[in-house]
Each structure stands twice: as structure tokens, then as C-alpha cells.
Amino acid sequence: MVDLVGGYYDAGDHVKFGLPMAFSVSMLSWGAIEFEKEIAASNQLEHALDAIRWGTDYFIKAHTQPNVLWGQVGDGDSDHYCWERAEDMTIPRNAYKIDPDHPGSEIAGETAAAMAAASLAFKPYNSTYSQLLLVHAKQLFSFADRFRGRYDNSIEDARQFYASSSGYSDELLWAATWLFRATHEEYYLQYVVDNAVSMGGTGWAVGEFSWDNKYAGVLMEGGGGPYTSTLKQYQAKADFFACACLQKNGGYNVAMTPGGLLYVHEWNNMQYVSSAAFLLAVYSDYYSAANAELKCPDAQIQPRELLIFAQSQADYILGKNPKSMSYLVGYGLSYPVHVHHRGASIPSMSIIYSTVGCVEGFEKWYRRKEGNPNVVYGALVGGPDKKDDFTDERSSYEQTEPTISGTAPLVGLFSKLQSVMGNSGSYSPQESPRPVPHNTTSKVPVEFLHTITDTWTIGRMTYYRHKVIIKNTSEKPITELKMGIENLSGSLWGLTPTPEKNTYELPQWLKELNPGSQCSFVYVQGGPQAKVTVLSYH
């Protein structure tokens, strides 16, 4: 029996797809290496390393033999048939591996890259663990290179969800690049040079950097001695990608929305935006260190211009866009509340104790018009379409589903931008012309936490028991708190009604709400939840 506990689900479902998981760990690790000081300055380095290790510990368990790697847990089709909490899963959890008879060079190569990059991230802090990761990285690269084959031919279930459209050559070059950085062994540099043409490293002109296509990320620092000529060809392809993003590539550019967002794919486009913006931030550092500028067909670009463009993509993500919508869940005054995510859309087991069944979840929670009871803070959703339009509905999974491969690059990117641009140079949600408060009022020190504690059906009508916690988030007592409650159609307990329409006060026995303290009220109704706002207080 193999212990495959741990790791990450890829998105709003419960499948552990190995390829995007490994890419996410690679990006987290690259951020922790490239922007280590910036992340540390935000007191987030320990958290970043913990997130990396959650992935690498899983990869160590999944790499049971030098030439065996367990690459997937769960079936996409059967998993997507259910809408339930992870704690309630009842479907079979099939696991799939690659081995010499069933090769998978993409996933073995990407996992090797993740382990090598993570070994660099941990090297200053845990040299023993760093060396262990390097052992696995070397074995996995050898496995990927010696037994070549498309992983989605061996793990066929992955093809429908994460098909390898670019093949496995980019992963082999990407892994060799990271192993050279981690070991400084010339074998890996020689591998990148010798296979430059045959594996497409100096031939492909790419318009994306993603879990599927790594060519734009194959960067080799330094002159390379006798390999300089070939490495410059690699650099030229990286330059092509950067110029294409900046719309300076002689017409061969990455598409953009009217609002200024890079647009690569219809499904979950934001993951391609975040990885591209991260890469441009890295490019900016490379050019700054070399005291050089990027020569595009349409212009010569200074290193800071690369960072400014990366910032424009980050600002769009955070709300500086035609919809004034933050696509980072939990950030800003208006963000998606119908996120296509099982755990976000169903109340926790501390609220609904009974099991939520596979199909029951669709009926009771997936199709609810109300916003999700749980906020997936920091999740980057798929984002708008090519016209900057966005539909905040769970069924619009192309736009509202978050992915780890989209969120992972933001750790390094945001840390870099915060360090260089500071608060004055980054987008603030207060600039939004259309603020839309959710659970928290924007101008008063009162927080409303809205949860559903019970549900039942009578005839064709479903009723919900809503519990609203009122918390004083300030450092001073709050008195004479008046709240407006709109769209209330049922009975309410725990507040005192006033003569004014739809207006309520704290219960008579509670004269003031002390700092950090809270109280709650309950109401029962069918249909959408009520909207609670603060009208006045002292």
C-alpha cells in the first residue's frame, strides 16, 4: 500500500493532478529563490516554505522507486459527478502511476524541476532536506529522460483535463535547467545545449508560459563559456515571449482584452496571466543585473518597463479593470462570491454536521443563488473573457474556478511589486468606482459573518436557518449600533426592531459591544439571504 496523503487539489474539485501540482511547487520555489528577500520583508518566507514543503513531502511519498512516480489520485469524471466537501467524499479514489512500461516524461520532468527548485529554496534553512530533494530530482530526471513518453498516454484520465499539447521536451529542458542551477554540474548544462534544436528549445516561438509549456522559462544565467552561442538562442526565445506580452513584437503579440489583460485561453485565463507577469518580473531582474535592455522589434525596453507591465497585470487582477472586480478572492471591496469550489460553496462540518451527499450537493449548494458561505482567501479565479466580461456564477467554471497553478506565481510576483513599487505604486481597491461590500462593511469597524446552520424542504420550498455573527473589530466599545436588514422575508431572533422600516438594534440586554467581542442573531427564510448593513453607531 502506498501512502498518498497530502499534496494539493488542482482547482475547485478533489483530484490531485500531478502535472499542475508540480508546476505550482516549481513556481512557489522559484519565487522563494528569486524574491527571497522581498518575501522575507513581508514576513511570509516561512509560510512560503511551508507551502512548498506540503507539495514536496507529497512528491517524496509518491516517488516510491527511482523509476516509479504516482502521478494522479482521483478520476476527473467521477469526481466532477459529485458536489461535496472533501470530508464527505464517498467515490473511489483510484491512483495512477508512471513507470518504465507506462512512461510519463512531462510529469516526471516537472516533478524533477519542482524538487530541484525546492532544494535551492530550502538550502539556506534545511540543508539535509535540500539534499534529499536533490536526490529525488536527479532520479526523476533520469527516469523522465531514459523512458520517454507522453504522460497522458499512460494516465489517460488526465488527457481530458491536463493534456500535454506541447509534449515532454520542454519539461526535460526545464528540469535540466533547474538541476544545473541546483548542482552546477556541467552534465545538465550540456544536456540543455545538446538538445536545444531537437527538443525545440531554440526553435519554438511561444506565446505562453504555463503548467503545459515551459519553453519561455528555460533561462540560463551567465555567459555559458563555450555554450554562449546556443544559450543566446534560448535567450532570444525568452525575449520573443517578453516582447509579445508587451505588444512590441512586430505584430506577433499575445492577445489582449480591451481593458489591457493578456488573453491566452478561454478556460481559466488568469493562470496564464499570473505566470506571464511573474516571468516578466524575473526578466526585469535579469536585465537589470546585466545592465542591459530588451531589444524588441518595435522598441527597446528598459528593465523597469517589464516590471511596470507586470504590475499592470497584477493591478488588473486586484480590481483595476472595466468591471472594478478583484479576481483575487477575499481582496478588495468587490470580488467573486460564487466561486466554483466545492469547499467554499458548502458550509463546514462545524455548521452542518450531517454528510452532504454526492448529488445532494448539486441540488442544495451548487445551484444556490446566494454567495458561498466560505471565502477562499487568496484564490485566483479564471477571470473575464476576451471582452473583459465576467459572470459570477458557479456554473461559469471557466471564469469562477480557481487553480493552484494560477495562484502560485502570485506569491513571488506580489512580493516583488510590493518591494519595488510599495503601497503608493500598487492598485488599491479603494480606487474602485463601484465598491460592492460582501460580509464586511467598508467604513465601520463592524464585521458580519454570515453562515447557514440548517436547511430543510417543505413541498417545493427550501428553507435556511441563517446565523449572523456581529463582531467589533475596533479597539473601542461600540454603542447605539443600528443595522439595516434588507430582503428579510422570514422570522428573526436576537435583535430588537425599531420603529424605522427594516432597522434593528442590538438586544436590550446588550448596551455595548466591547472591542473584539461579538454577538449573533438568527433568521429563517427561503430564497436569497438577507443583506445586513450598518446604518449608524457611536
- Which residue numbers are catalytic? 340
Q: Are 105 and 144 in contact (CB under 8 A)?
A: yes
- Long-range interactions of 296-301: CB distance < 8 A, separation 24+: 296/239, 296/242, 296/243, 296/246, 296/248, 296/249, 296/250, 297/243, 297/248, 297/249, 297/250, 298/243, 298/247, 298/248, 298/249, 298/250, 299/248, 301/242, 301/243, 301/246, 301/248
For 300-412, where are the E strands, in sequence order?
Answer: 300-301
Helix or strand run (H / E) with residue 156:
none
Total residues belonging to the chain: 538
Residue 253, C-alpha cell as written in the block: 503579440
C-alpha 54/C-alpha 128 separation (Å) is 17
Dist. CA 432–CA 146, nearest whole Å:
54
The CA-atom distances, in angstroms, between 303 and each of 143, 217, 295, 313, 349 are: 38, 17, 11, 16, 50
Q: Which residues of 286-296 are buried (b: 16+ CB within 10 A; e: fewer)?
A: bbeeeeebbeb
Three-state DSSP state, 64: coil
Could you tell me if 317 and 270 are in contact, meaning their C-beta atoms sit under 8 angstroms apart? yes
* CA distances from residue 492 to 168, 499, 536 in whole angstroms, order as listed: 60, 16, 20
Answer yes or no: are the C-beta atoms of 450 and 529 closer than 8 Å: yes
- The percent of the chain in helix, strand and coil, each rounded to the nearest 5, is 40, 15, 45
187-192: long-range contacts (C-beta < 8 A, 24 or more apart)? Answer: 189/220, 189/224, 189/227, 190/227, 191/145, 192/218, 192/220, 192/234
Scan for cell 509549456, then name that residue.
Answer: 213
Closest to 136 measured CA to CA, from 220, 30, 57:
57
- Asked if 104 contacts 143 with a C-beta cutoff of 8 angstroms, the reply is no
Query: CA–CA separation, 120 vs 142, rounded Å?
Result: 19
CB 88 within 8 A of CB 345: no
- Pairwise CA distance, residues 273 & 408, whole Å: 12
- Given a contact cutoff of 8 angstroms between Cβ atoms, the answer to whether 113 and 178 are in contact is yes
Beta strand pairing call for 491-493 and 482-486: unpaired
- Residue 171: Cβ within 10 Å count: 31
Distances (CA, A) of 500 to 162, 433, 535: 56, 30, 11
